[in-house]
């Protein structure tokens, strides 16, 4: 079963220095029909003006993923991490019993764009932790986050797997699913045809799709440009 979330139906926030689109309820945007999917609670598509950013603030009991699509994030946190997060890099911060951090656009000339993703952890409390890695831009499905950190992936405190999907124009990729689990696809750029059983849907940049009770799925690039997306395998 497919449930489509179109990009232009997302919540919006305009703070001048920050333009954000919310796939699920967040901040002043509230829609009881869009509170998240399984453990996936937040996907914010953020655009940050040069030299601007989020001042030091706190989080707890949340797995926070950032993925940069243009520019560089300058990150600093209460664990002592001072990092630069360039385009294509995944960051996973487990807030645990509490952490403070700040995030700024590392350029005084170019806009920063990135996805901020929140996943609820399977356990509350615990020590916060920080991980960061670039997984390349290989065509296909690349696993980047897993519950056990296998094969060099980032380790998350939830029964959730996150994969990076990249396709050339008209490239088709088939992927086996577990019909008892829930999946969510978020398109970053390009156009993507998604097929499962007798259903199919065409997704554009910013669109999301929930997939339930499916045994397999197929992805095909549909645009002149390459397709980039994220696939969430959720409990």
Q: At 51, which CATH number?
A: 2.60.120.10
pLDDT of residue 231: 98
Nearest one of 101, 107, 115 to 46, comparing CA atoms: 115
- On whether residue 189 sits in a domain, the answer given is no
Domain that holds residue 131: 10-135
171 located within any domain:
no
Convert 206-224 into a string of H (helix), E (strand) and C (coil).
CCEEEEECCCEEEEEECCC
Q: What is the DSSP letter of 9?
A: G
- Tell me the average pLDDT of the chain: 97
Number of domains in the chain: 1
pLDDT tens for each residue of 79-97: 999 999 999 999 999 999 9
CA distance 65 to 42: 10
| Residue 41 · residue 24 · CB < 8 Å | yes
Residue 51 falls inside a structural domain: yes
- At residue 45, the 3 state secondary structure works out as strand
Torsion of Cα atoms, 50 then 51 then 52 then 57, to 10°: 140
Nearest to 145 by CA among 128, 121, 125, 124: 121
The edge-to-edge listing of strands for the beta sheet with 40-48 is 11-14, 18-22, 40-48, 112-119, 63-70, 89-94, 129-134
pLDDT in tens, 59-77: 999 999 999 999 999 999 9
């Amino acid at each position: 079963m497919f449930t489509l979330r179109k990009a232009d139906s997302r919540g919006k926030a305009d703070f001048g220095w920050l333009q954000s689109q919310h796939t699920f309820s967040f901040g002043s945007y509230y829609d009881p029909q869009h509170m998240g999917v399984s453990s996936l609670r937040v996907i914010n598509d953020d655009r940050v003006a040069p030299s601007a950013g989020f001042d030091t603030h706190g989080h707890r009991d949340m797995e926070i993923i950032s993925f940069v699509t243009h520019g560089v994030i300058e990150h600093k946190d209460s664990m002592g991490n001072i990092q630069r997060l360039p385009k294509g890099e995944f960051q996973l911060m487990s807030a645990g019993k509490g952490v403070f951090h700040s995030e700024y656009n590392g350029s005084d000339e170019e806009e920063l764009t990135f996805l901020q993703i929140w996943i609820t952890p399977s356990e509350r409390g615990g020590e916060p932790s920080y991980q960061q890695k670039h997984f390349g831009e290989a065509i296909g499905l690349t696993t980047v986050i897993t519950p056990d950190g296998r094969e060099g992936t980032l380790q998350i405190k939830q029964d959730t797997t996150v994969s990076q999907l990249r396709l050339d124009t008209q490239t088709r990729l088939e992927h086996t699913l577990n019909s008892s689990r829930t999946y969510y696809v978020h398109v970053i750029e390009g156009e993507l045809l998604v097929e499962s059983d007798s259903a199919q849907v065409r997704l554009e940049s910013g669109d999301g799709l929930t997939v339930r009770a499916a045994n397999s799925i197929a992805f095909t690039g549909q645009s002149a440009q390459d397709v980039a997306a994220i696939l969430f395998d959720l409990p």
